[in-house]
Amino acid sequence: MWSGPRRAGWVRAAVPPCDPGLVQWQWACHIDMASREGMPSATDKKNFHVPLDRKLYRELREEAERSELPATVIAREAIESYLQERRRAALHEELVSYARDVADTADDLDEDLERATVEHLTDEDEG
């Protein structure tokens, strides 16, 4: 495995992972996954190696220059955004599943709440 400095660029990686005798060169971006709350201590940081194809790496570098932000910040924000969207999608799927499971059951609707809502809306229309 690569033992040189960790930075974006060409790195040596074993392929497949179970056979360290085979080696390939791959374009990779080394991302510093630091905490975004305040000043993280050394123990708050975790590094994550993300292989990127040349086109994606070049686009990331160009965006870093354009925005005057480090590429690691852009990559971190993209990963955070993706994971947040995945959490939202998972929650939505859980809610949809629950709604399907309880449809037309006693858990489907709170009759007191339905009655109060209808009364409230009727009062608003009249008043």
* DSSP structure string for 64-96: HHHHTS-HHHHHHHHHHHHHHHHHHHHHHHHHH
Residue 2 lies inside a defined structural domain of this protein: no
Q: CB neighbours (10 Å) of residue 44? A: 13
Q: What is the pLDDT of residue 66?
A: 97
Residue 116 lies inside a defined structural domain of this protein: yes
26 confidence band (pLDDT: 50, 70, 90): very low
Residue 4 lies inside a defined structural domain of this protein: no
Q: CB neighbours (10 Å) of residue 11? A: 19
Residue 1 lies inside a defined structural domain of this protein: no
Residue 52 lies inside a defined structural domain of this protein: yes
Residue 29 pLDDT more than 90? Answer: no
Number of structural domains found in the chain: 1
| b/e code 52-84 from CB counts within 10 Å (16+ = b) | beeeebeebeeebeeeeeebbebbbeeeeeeee
State the pTM of this model.
Answer: 0.54
pLDDT tens-digit readout, 2-17: 444 444 444 444 444 4
Residue 3 lies inside a defined structural domain of this protein: no
Residue 82 lies inside a defined structural domain of this protein: yes
Exposed (0-12), middle (13-18) or buried (19+): which is 12, by Cβ within 10 Å?
A: middle
- How many whole angstroms separate alpha carbon 50 and alpha carbon 60? 12
Residue 16 lies inside a defined structural domain of this protein: yes
Q: Which domain holds residue 112?
A: 9-126
30 confidence band (pLDDT: 50, 70, 90): low
